[in-house]
């Protein structure tokens, strides 16, 4: 007897529990790919597994008058994290699933409901020989969590269809219809050192909330790099010895610090802290601005070189640049001034650009290049990742809104996410077909507290089945 035996939807939870027994950390999908391939073979369906361990299964129409082919898509890998002190080997041990009321969770590891539940729904529909379904293709992609390697490696034309339903969302009752694309910009500004005027002091900004640069950028949280640049700009004649702020490209920087040579009064710092706390009241709990003496010796930039560096950080844009006119409350275009480090004679700055409109993404990236070149710096743009732009007209979106209303009597919310999804790449691989993303209620994904609501799985699965059965 499995831990999920007897719970509904029975076949979805059967397959999900089977998946939890198969090691499938991101980058280690061979075993789960073979399991899906074997299941498809047992069902007598055409199946292909590619070199990236993507699996494509084709199922002909059964009892449906629709001429459309629907693609269902989910990824097979999971984030593997165990709680501190919990001894667990993801490479050979089944996930320790447990049930607590209406929730599926674990004893102390990530659950892998992201995206195991989506894959399990697809397996259950694959084996269903009773329902009236249109022709379908099932696309199980690999290595989504650590770079989307599977969908990037997918050959164009490997899977075909008229519309696609991605089952990798985490909020029931919300249909995603767009996601942002991204591109990263790295600036390198050469600076030169000079003789120090005054003793060395360390100025630090901290206590900020930070957060995901896609999902939290709309909340207008403070950027520690920008705040520290404003403080340094008040220190007339300052000479910078070191500067570092930010850690990750996709995180709003929470802290930054600089060591400077400055012989003036630092009394204005208390006033600056009051200014920051006023500006970010209701957004940040507090802005901590601390000045302390620095013991030791460091080479410092000249005054003009320091001003050049400060001016660049002040002028470099950060935050929301444009809101969507198609989806209420959605950020269309933004950028995150993510990392700034003075290393030797070079200031290196990393900026992450996001937009759901390709031309806006490249326009903003090109403006960063122009700004950097004006300051005498060198620039580099990453290859980036593609956006999934909102379609003004969508049969699938309107069809699913109607089905949801018939099933549950409420309005299906249409939304978008200001972050990257596989759907952006799928547009490139399959074509600009009608596409949406749905999923049941998940919480704390990518953590040992990950859990998924059982009743939500049942509702979303019924919604998916009804959607397929009623496609015209």
* Residues with a known catalytic role: 77, 144
Provide the strand spans (E) within 3-106: 46-49, 55-59, 69-75, 97-100, 103-106
Cis peptide before 115 (omega within 30 of 0): yes
Q: What angle do CA 142, 113, 455 make, to 5 degrees?
A: 140
Cβ atoms 397, 175 nearer than 8 A: yes
Take residue 88 and report the two structure tokens written for it. 């667990």
Q: How many residues does the chain have?
A: 472
d(C-alpha 245, C-alpha 337), whole Å: 10
User: Is 351 in contact with 195 (CB distance < 8 Å)?
Assistant: no
Task: Measure the CA–CA gap between 222 and 251, rounded to whole angstroms.
Answer: 12
Find the helix packing angle between 113-127 and 454-469, rounded to 10°.
Answer: 40
Q: Which residue has the tokens 């993801």?
A: 90
Q: Which of 282, 388, 286, 372 is nearest to 330 (CA)?
A: 388
Distance CA 75, CA 55 (A): 10
Query: Position of tokens 């899977």?
Result: 159
Specify the residue for token string 């691989």: 429
Q: Which residue has the tokens 């009773």?
A: 130
């Amino acid at each position: 007897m499995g831990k999920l035996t007897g719970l509904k939807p029975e076949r979805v939870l059967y397959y999900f529990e089977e998946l939890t027994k198969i090691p499938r950390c991101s980058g280690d999908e061979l075993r789960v790919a073979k399991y899906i391939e074997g299941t498809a073979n047992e069902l007598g369906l055409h199946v292909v597994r590619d070199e990236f361990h993507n699996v494509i299964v084709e199922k002909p129409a059964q009892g449906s008058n629709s001429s459309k082919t629907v693609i269902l898509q989910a990824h097979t890998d999971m984030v593997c994290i165990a709680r501190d002190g919990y001894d667990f080997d993801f490479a050979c041990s089944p996930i320790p699933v447990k049930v607590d009321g209406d929730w599926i969770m674990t004893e102390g590891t990530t659950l892998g409901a992201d995206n195991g539940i989506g894959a399990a729904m697809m397996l259950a529909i694959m084996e269903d020989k009773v329902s009236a379904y249109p022709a379908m293709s099932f696309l199980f992609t690999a290595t989504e969590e650590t770079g989307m390697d599977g969908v990037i490696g997918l050959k164009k034309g490997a899977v075909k269809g008229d519309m696609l339903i991605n089952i990798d969302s985490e909020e029931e009752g919300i249909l995603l219809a767009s996601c942002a694309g991204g591109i990263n910009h790295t600036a390198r500004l050469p600076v030169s050192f000079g003789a120090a005027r005054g003793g060395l002091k360390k100025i630090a900004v901290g206590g900020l909330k930070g957060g995901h640069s896609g999902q939290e950028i709309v909340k207008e949280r403070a950027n520690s790099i920008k705040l520290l640049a404003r403080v340094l700009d008040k220190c007339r004649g300052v000479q910078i010895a070191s500067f570092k702020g930010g850690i990750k490209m996709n995180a709003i920087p929470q802290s930054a610090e600089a060591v400077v040579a400055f012989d003036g009064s630092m009394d204005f710092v208390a006033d600056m802290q009051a200014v920051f706390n006023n500006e970010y009241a209701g957004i940040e709990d507090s802005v901590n601005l601390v000045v302390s003496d620095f013991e030791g010796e460091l080479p410092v930039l000249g005054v003009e070189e320091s001003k050049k560096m400060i001016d660049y950080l002040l002028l470099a844009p950060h935050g929301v640049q444009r809101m969507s006119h198609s989806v209420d409350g959605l950020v269309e275009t933004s950028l995150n001034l993510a990392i700034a480090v003075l290393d030797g004679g070079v200031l290196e700055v990393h900026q992450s650009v996001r937009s759901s409109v390709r031309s806006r993404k490249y326009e903003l990236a090109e403006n960063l290049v122009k700004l950097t070149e004006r300051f005498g710096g060198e620039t580099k743009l990453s290859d980036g990742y593609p956006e999934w732009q909102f379609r003004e007209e969508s049969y699938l979106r309107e069809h699913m809104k109607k089905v949801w209303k018939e099933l549950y009597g409420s309005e299906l919310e249409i939304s978008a996410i200001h972050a990257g999804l596989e759907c952006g790449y799928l547009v490139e691989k399959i074509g600009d077909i009608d596409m949406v993303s749905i999923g049941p209620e998940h919480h704390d994904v990518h953590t040992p507290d990950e859990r998924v609501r059982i009743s939500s799985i049942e509702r979303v699965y019924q919604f998916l089945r009804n959607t397929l059965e009623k496609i015209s």
